[in-house]
Amino acid sequence: MLAGKAYQIKDIITGRYYYPRDPDGMGEISESSRPLQDGEFAEWILLDGTPATCANIGLHNLYKDEIDLLLSGPNLGRNTSSAFALSSGTIGAALSSSLSQIRSIALSYGTVIHPTPDSFFHPAHDLSLRIIQHLYDNWGTDPEGLRSGEIDLYNVNIPMVEGLLGEDDLPIYWTRIWRNTYGRLFEAYMQGNAAVLTSAGSAAGPDALSSTFIPVASPASTDVEPKALGSLVFKFAPDMTNLINPAEHMLPEGSDGWAMMKGWVSVTPMRASFAEPVSAHGVHVDGTIQDRVWKMKL
């Protein structure tokens, strides 16, 4: 996650081998590599790290100089808007690989209907593959005239809506990130006598979020002042209403949130960098070094 721990720098990363079979991908886990058996179609490597960690190990340790495109996802849950993009493990993996100068695409399926019908997944996979192929074949070019060097990765969001089942594809839009905000994400938490930490947190996206605490007793109260707890215990309990279902007037036309609200596919070109502010004329600060000297006295 970008806003948290992107790389597990103090941990020893371990992995295992997985051998999926047709038709459902179920297979066998092995502690060591072995030849494929009847019905198995690939050897996968499962690592116990963050998405960014896995991307870097895959590029530089497992398949060095063998990969020319990294695909992160699909994540079940939208990764639109800055509020989600800045804490997305899915986008974090693509950012990690783009910093290694590898073409990178983050792919997310925006949940709209709960639960998502199984019939939506095959057409979503099919549409995703065609979008990915197009981006790969035409890397770095789009109708806005961005130069090849200006695009490090793409963030693709496909809404899981009934339109996927139609004869025609969902409309696909080039978009920009909706610069939204959020408020309180945690609430004070009190239960019986203990709070049990788990690793059940989500990698990315609002629809995949789960509590990072497992109750061991019925909560006496889930909305109390921290000082009343006797200890500092909080649980992740964000109010997602304005993030997932914002009013239409809040969404800038052409943003990824706007496309998701319309039920359209969003493809956002991105740079592996925090954005720099622009001048009132819409251009980055330039001029001579002397022009950058502070003239005010502190």
pLDDT, residue 5, reads 56
Check whether 298 has a pLDDT greater than 90.
Answer: no
Report pLDDT digits (tens) over 153-166: 999 999 999 999 99
Task: Specify if 107 maps to a domain.
Answer: yes
Task: Specify if 96 maps to a domain.
Answer: yes
Task: Specify if 296 maps to a domain.
Answer: no
Q: Is residue 208 within 8 Å of residue 73, measured between CB atoms?
A: no
Q: Round to whole Å and give the CA distance between 269 and 174.
A: 8
Task: Specify if 170 maps to a domain.
Answer: yes
Q: Round to whole Å and give the CA distance between 143 and 105.
A: 18
Check whether 220 has a pLDDT greater than 50.
Answer: no
Question: What's the CATH number where 111 sits?
Answer: 3.40.1210.10
Question: What confidence category does residue 145 fall into, taking pLDDT thresholds of 50, 70 and 90?
Answer: low
> What percentage of the chain carries pLDDT values higher than 70?
74
| Nearest CA among 193, 186, 187 for reference residue 223 | 187
Task: Specify if 38 maps to a domain.
Answer: no
pLDDT, residue 144, reads 60
End-to-end CA distance of the chain: 37
Check whether 34 has a pLDDT greater than 90.
Answer: yes
Residues 6+ positions from 241 with CB-CB distance below 8 Å = none
| Nearest CA among 189, 235, 233 for reference residue 210 | 235
Q: Is residue 108 within 8 Å of residue 157, measured between CB atoms?
A: yes
pLDDT, residue 245, reads 80
Q: Is residue 80 within 8 Å of residue 129, measured between CB atoms?
A: no
pLDDT, residue 285, reads 52
Report pLDDT digits (tens) over 182-209: 888 888 887 654 444 443 444 445 445 4
Mean pLDDT of all residues in 273-296: 64
For β-strands 153-160 and 103-111, DSSP reports them as: parallel
Question: What confidence category does residue 4 fall into, taking pLDDT thresholds of 50, 70 and 90?
Answer: very low
Which range of residues forms the domain containing residue 160?
A: 69-180+248-270
Number of domains in the chain: 1
Place of tokens 């399926």: 109
Q: Which residue has the higher pLDDT, 62 or 144?
A: 62
Omega before 23 cis (within 30°)? yes
Task: Specify if 23 maps to a domain.
Answer: no
pLDDT, residue 246, reads 83
Task: Specify if 175 maps to a domain.
Answer: yes
| Nearest CA among 263, 2, 267 for reference residue 111 | 263
- Number of Cα atoms under 13 Å in the Cβ half of residue 217: 9
pLDDT, residue 249, reads 85
